[in-house]
């Protein structure tokens, strides 16, 4: 009965709160609601699943990443759950045309902290798509991956202005004296 009320704006917050209190026992009911016709219902179900934090919801939330209207909510839920099984699906979003979707994927990846992330980030810093390079720079800076430092400095001279800007913004997050090297050239840019 409660899951049917997820689409009702007047009571949605209370319904989500009640479902979260039920915990893992309502995961199956909530994953069904990820396919509801009503967008508000789908989004509320994703939020509730994230707050419950049960890894059994991961496959359904990964599938929900195919619903453009639900990507941000699903990525947010995956971030809260922290299941490494979502890693590849989230990495695939780093090239999305919408900044909000890329940022939600970055936040989820940062939350998951997958052991392959440093090596994958290094590869992504060389991607042909500037959106992917910017996303990879934000991940590298968040964690301050030492193995990415040389490539971050190189990105300060990238042909794409957004990549150069993102690289410059990440420099302070690295505990490496080389981070100061590109600053004079960046000040002239």
Q: Render pLDDT for 63-75 as a digit per residue (tens, 0 to 9).
A: 999 999 999 999 9
Q: Is the pTM of this model over 0.85?
A: yes
Cα distances from 41 to residues 55, 127, 154, in angstroms, run 21, 36, 45
pLDDT tens digits for 36-45?
999 999 999 9
**With 90 as the cut, is the pLDDT of residue 22 above it?**
no
> What pLDDT does residue 159 have?
96
Cβ-in-10-Å burial (0-12, 13-18, 19+) of 92 comes to exposed
pLDDT in tens, 74-106: 999 999 999 999 999 999 999 999 999 999 999
Average pLDDT on 159-187 reads: 94
Work out the angle at residue 58's Cα, subtended by the Cα atoms of residues 133 and 140, and round it to the nearest 5 degrees.
Answer: 25
> 9: pLDDT confidence band, cut at 50, 70 and 90?
confident
Distance of CA 54 to the CA centre of its chain: 18
Give Cα 25 distance to the centre of its chain. Answer: 26
Q: For residues 10 and 14, what is the distance between their CA atoms, to the nearest angstrom?
A: 9
SS3 at position 30:
helix
- What's the full length of the chain, in residues? 189
pLDDT for position 40: 92
Q: Residue range 136-165: average pLDDT?
A: 97
Q: Which two tokens stand for residue 57?
A: 């919801």
Q: What is the Cα–Cα distance from 129 to 92, expressed in whole angstroms? A: 12
């Amino acid at each position: 009965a409660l899951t049917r009320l997820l689409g009702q704006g007047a009571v949605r917050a209370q319904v989500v709160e009640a479902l979260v209190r039920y915990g893992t026992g309502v995961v199956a009911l909530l994953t069904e609601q990820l396919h509801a016709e009503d967008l508000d219902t789908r989004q509320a179900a994703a939020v509730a699943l994230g707050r419950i934090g049960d890894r059994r919801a991961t496959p359904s939330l990964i599938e929900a990443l195919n619903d453009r209207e639900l990507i941000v909510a699903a990525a947010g839920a995956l971030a809260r759950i922290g299941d490494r099984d979502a890693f590849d699906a989230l990495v695939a979003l780093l090239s999305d045309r919408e900044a909000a979707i890329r940022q939600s994927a970055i936040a989820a990846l940062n939350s998951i902290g997958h052991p392959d992330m440093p090596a994958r980030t290094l590869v992504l810093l060389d991607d042909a798509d500037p959106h992917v390079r910017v996303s990879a720079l934000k991940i590298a800076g968040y964690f301050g991956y030492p193995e990415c430092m040389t490539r971050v400095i190189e990105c300060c001279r990238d042909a794409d202005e957004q990549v150069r800007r993102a690289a410059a913004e990440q420099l302070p997050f690295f505990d490496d004296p080389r981070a100061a090297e590109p600053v004079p050239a960046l000040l002239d840019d």
